[in-house]
Structure 1
Amino acid sequence: MHTTLHTVTGPLSYEAVRGPVLSHEHLVLDLDRTGDGGAVLDPVRHGPAVVTEISALRDAFDLSLVIELTCRGMGRDPRALAAMAQETGVAIIAATGWYYEPFHPSEVASASVETLAASLVREIEDGCDATGIRPGVLGEVGSHGDVPSEPETRSLRAAARAALTTDLSVATHAQLGRGGLAQLELLTGEGLPAQRVAVGHQDLLDDPGIHKELASRGAYVAFDTVGKESYQSDDTRLRLLLALIAAGHADRALLSCDISRHGYLASEGGQGYGHLFHTFLPRLRAAGVDDDLIDLMTRRNPLRFLTGASTEEI
């Protein structure tokens, strides 16, 4: 394991993260392909509201770290993230990699796995977009469907190779929860240990068998769209998470809200980044999940994922 996290404001010891972690969020984002402006979190227009929410969660719940998974082709803005970290007092980790195929920039089209991996390694070592700000995770590296497409396969394999070279971990985007096992096969096939993989959006897949299989192989199972009721009810999320816990895999669960458009902000009537803390975690506690398990899923697990630590080490 490594003990230092690469945040947008510099290195941070994992031991300094004493409060909960949001393991999959977007603070700055542009996925608008239609011109309607919905799938956007603009740092100028929406940044103040984002800062207000994150600051409030720091004050109320001791929020200590946000893993920000906006990568190449998603409107990433490392300087804006650094400014938000300074303003909120909450550490932020930036990401690199490529989202799923419809959002791939042209650089992915015909590049080899070796070329793509080398590009990621350069960015991890030298910083994003000539800013000097180093990403601290690969993600959200995406695919859609039960089997990744050919470009998505190259992107995933490149992410695995870059992760091995730089000692980082990989968080995936599994569209609507599908294809997680295929993603894990590709990533581990490149030699990446399963404990360095978080398979995304599994709370959108109503299949506890797959969740248990991913966890039993050692991967982290991300319940990371909490509160997105238009995709999946929190009732279903709660049932699926309790099943994973009952199967003995609480040490593989990650929780977050994946705020990915400005309409989800609390200031615009959405559930906000705080939905996990204000609404979902109280429901978990009411279902019998104790504070130690809450800390496991919201702090220790994300830190283990980022550092490669075993359950005994953190």
Structure 2
Amino acid sequence: MSSTATPHGPEPLLRTVAGALPAASVGGPALAHEHLVLDLDLKGDGAAVLDARRHGPAVSRELAELREEFGLALVIEQTCRGMGRDPGALARIAEESGVAVVAATGWYYEPFHPAADLAGASVEQLTATLVREIHEGITGPDGRPTGIRPGVLGEVGSHGEVPSEPETRSLRAAARAAVATGLSVATHAQLGHGGLAQLDVLTGAGLAPHRICVGHQDLLTAPAVHRRLAAEGAYVAFDTVGKESYQSDEVRLRLLLALLEAGHADRALLSCDISRHGYLRSEGGQGYGHLFRSFLPAVRAAGVDDDLIDVLTRRNPLRFLTGASPEEG
């Protein structure tokens, strides 16, 4: 499991698909919320898919190019139960690209809940499922054990301003599993809504705010909500960078700068949330590198220096995963 850094404690470790990785060895930036393999194809049109065979090689090439060009060192891959997760494919992509990958567990928002997991299951039963997977490893798509253990709980989802009853159960289970195993929780807040309610559910189940990242806040044009989440101690994810059909990067930049100016630079996380094959560079999309090629240059042009960029892209993701404080990062 992840270990929390203390002045006299063990070196914090990340749990990647290739095994334990010292956080101190991660010298380059991280993408805090991505998908490398997934299947969210509810419409049947094949758009919301990243297939291991068809698209995996292109994903590996993109990550390898970003490692060479920008020093990309880590991807937090948040495809969880019911989202077409494939831990073996993640291991291959990590090996081929030379970029460390952290896999996830948990449940996405309600339309993607597997009935076999959620129907009639208590919070205690759901927690036991997650803890077992964290300790024993993820089962592959073929039903066989892989031995690959999750390093984060995410993206645990809800939609609307208040989680539904099944979503509340899955959030509580994620919080309890995080407390039991030392992992952190990243959420899916549909279109940015419901983050404060998610935080209340997670902390109410015993999880410390600094072990929580509230997702997709760059889709919510509400700086006051961002400030409140950060003030409570949670991480605030600006993690759909480049998805212009949802929100312009101009607005994302303004929202991020507002959070930084409010003194919460140590609580912001950045990523692109590539979640369909049409977003890949090989298919004409913005790709995983949009953050580095387009958005961060705009952040720098707005007056943010390289040390603060390192906070946003490296130190904060590592603190989130390990539970370290800013003083320890």
Q: Same fold (TM over 0.5)?
A: yes
Q: Which deviates the most, 263-272 or 142-151? A: 263-272
| Superposed CA offset, 1:172-198 (max 9, x none) | 000000000000000000110000000
Q: TM-score scaled by structure 1? A: 0.99
Alignment of 1:230-241 (within 5 A): 230-241=245-256
Residue 28 of structure 2 is matched in structure 1 by 19
1:306 and 2:316 are equivalent in the alignment: no
Please, which of 57, 60, 74 is the counterpart of residue 66 of structure 2?
57
Which one of 115, 121, 137 corresponds to residue 125 of structure 2?
A: 115
- Match of 2:272, SS state, is coil
CA distance in 1, matches of 2:54, 2:92: 15
How far apart are residue 110 of structure 1 and its match? 1.1
Q: CA deviation at 1:237?
A: 0.1
* 2: CA distance, partners of 1:278 / 1:99: 29
- C-alpha deviations, 1:22-74, integer Å up to 9, x for none? 00000001000121000000011011110110000000011000000000000
Match of 2:86 among 74, 77, 88: 77
Moved over 4 A (4+): none
Report the counterpart of residue 127 of structure 1 in structure 2: 137
1:276-295 alignment to 2 at 5 Å? 276-295=291-310
The counterpart of 1:35, out of the listed 34, 44, 52, is 44
1:128 partner SS: coil
RMSD of aligned C-alpha atoms? 0.5
Aligned counterpart, 1:195: 210
Distance in 2 of aligned mates of 1:188 and 1:35: 37
- Separation in 2 of the partners of 1:87 and 1:266? 17
223, 239, 245: which one aligns with 1:224 = 239
Report whether the alignment pairs 1:104 with 2:113: yes
CA offset digits 1:268-304 (Å, max 9, x no partner): 1111000000000000000000001100000000000
Q: Which secondary structure state, in structure 2, belongs to the residue aligned with residue 158 of structure 1?
A: helix
What stretches of structure 1 of length at least 5 have no aligned partner? none
SS at structure 1 position matched to 2:213: strand
How many residues are paired up? 314
Instruction: Kindly provide the CA deviation profile for residues 205-241 of structure 1, in whole angstroms up to 9, marking residues without a partner as x.
Output: 0000000000000000000000000000000000000
Amino acid paired to 2:302:
A
Query: Deviations along 1:74-117, whole A, 9 cap, x unmatched?
Result: 00000000011111111000000000000000111210000000
Q: 3-state SS of the aligned residue for 1:198? A: strand
Deviation sequence 1:150-181 (CA, Å, 0-9, x none): 00000000000000000000000000000000
Which residue, 45, 53, 56 being the options, matches 1:47?
56
2:75 corresponds to 1:66: yes
What secondary structure does 2:226 align onto? Answer: helix
Counterpart code for 1:59: E
Equivalent-residue separation in structure 1 for 2:125 and 2:13 (angstroms): 27
TM-score (norm: length of structure 2): 0.95
Residue 154 in 1 paired to residue 169 in 2? Answer: yes
